[in-house]
Amino acid sequence: MPAVLSCPECGDTGWKPTSRPDGSPAVAVCFCRDAAPAPARLEDIGVPPYFCERARFDYFFKVSPALERARQTVFKWADAYPDVKSGLLLTGPAGVGKTHLAVSLLRHILLERRISVAARFEYVPRLLREVQRVWNDPLLIDERRLAEVTRAEIVVLDQLGADTGWDKRVQERLLYILNRCILGECVLICTTTFPLQAAEQSTLADQITVRGVSLLHEACRAVPMPGEDYRDKVINPGLSV
């Protein structure tokens, strides 16, 4: 780390204070960030190849007004970054496009707005498998792998709570990662198929503990992505009012 600040505008954070038209404080990208090259490929920050080309805001298939609202919320967030107050937690059943929107967000910031920011995409079940492998072999050190996650400024945690039955130590490692991301002031974008509250099915707290959910509430705003109720709409259209 240099002893002398190379950018007095922002103190080498890359974000400088500014204000909105109404006078309220905001942050903006400092010109010194332009000097650093943006990552050329989403693959390089962990995005699965399937989503690298397909996931764009304008390719999002709007099947319902609620999903279109979710698309607009995530787009506005990506368009306002870094002037955002919290991360996002996209919740909804499989197949509604949560990962699609999370990757579209990364694409918009990194490739379309060309903001140079350290970002990371993690498919949580795979990350936890890696963590578990390390726990089983005490000679391996996972700090470098975890630093890839916790040193990023935007971290996408995809499929939080999926693939359960983890060793308690692995669960604790996940809480540690969440905690380090939040303490390190990185912005979290999470997706999960588990509801925050439910009477008859498992909730996210059952999967990642109450403490994990409370950390997420601190760091993220929930964006509901409800699925269509096909039973009502397709089989019994007359019963759905």
| Phi, psi angles (nearest 5°) of residue 222 | -75, 135
Check residue 32 for interaction with Zn ion (CB under 5 A).
Answer: yes
Least CB distance to Zn ion at residue 30 (A): 3
- Spatial separation of the C-alpha atoms in residues 41 and 76, rounded to whole Å: 23
Helix (H, G, I), strand (E, B) or coil at 71: helix
**Span from 29-37, 113-121, 146-154, 185-193 in contact with Zn ion (CB under 5 A):** 29-37
- CB of 134 closer than 8 Å to CB of 142: yes
The DSSP output letter for 233 is: I
Least CB distance to Zn ion at residue 4 (A): 14
- Spatial separation of the C-alpha atoms in residues 193 and 181, rounded to whole Å: 21
**Span from 20-28, 30-38, 71-79, 232-240 in contact with Zn ion (CB under 5 A):** 30-38
- Spatial separation of the C-alpha atoms in residues 39 and 44, rounded to whole Å: 7
- Please tell me the count of residues contacting Zn ion according to CB under 5 A: 5
Check residue 160 for interaction with Zn ion (CB under 5 A).
Answer: no
Check residue 79 for interaction with Zn ion (CB under 5 A).
Answer: no
- The angle formed by the CA atoms of residues 93, 99 and 102, to the nearest 5 degrees, is 125
- Catalogue the E-assigned strands of 4-107: 15-19, 25-29, 87-91
- Spatial separation of the C-alpha atoms in residues 194 and 38, rounded to whole Å: 34
The single residue among 10, 96, 186, 223 that binds Zn ion, judged by CB under 5 A, is 10
Check residue 172 for interaction with Zn ion (CB under 5 A).
Answer: no
- Spatial separation of the C-alpha atoms in residues 167 and 119, rounded to whole Å: 28
Check residue 182 for interaction with Zn ion (CB under 5 A).
Answer: no
**Span from 4-12, 132-140, 171-179, 180-188 in contact with Zn ion (CB under 5 A):** 4-12
Check residue 27 for interaction with Zn ion (CB under 5 A).
Answer: no
Nearer to Zn ion, 7 or 175 (CB): 7
Least CB distance to Zn ion at residue 71 (A): 32
The single residue among 9, 79, 142, 172 that binds Zn ion, judged by CB under 5 A, is 9
**Span from 31-39, 119-127, 170-178, 181-189 in contact with Zn ion (CB under 5 A):** 31-39
Q: Residue 231 is encoded by which pair of tokens?
A: 């039973």
- Spatial separation of the C-alpha atoms in residues 56 and 60, rounded to whole Å: 7
Nearer to Zn ion, 6 or 197 (CB): 6
Least CB distance to Zn ion at residue 127 (A): 32
151 Cα distance to chain centroid: 14
Check residue 188 for interaction with Zn ion (CB under 5 A).
Answer: no
Nearer to Zn ion, 9 or 172 (CB): 9
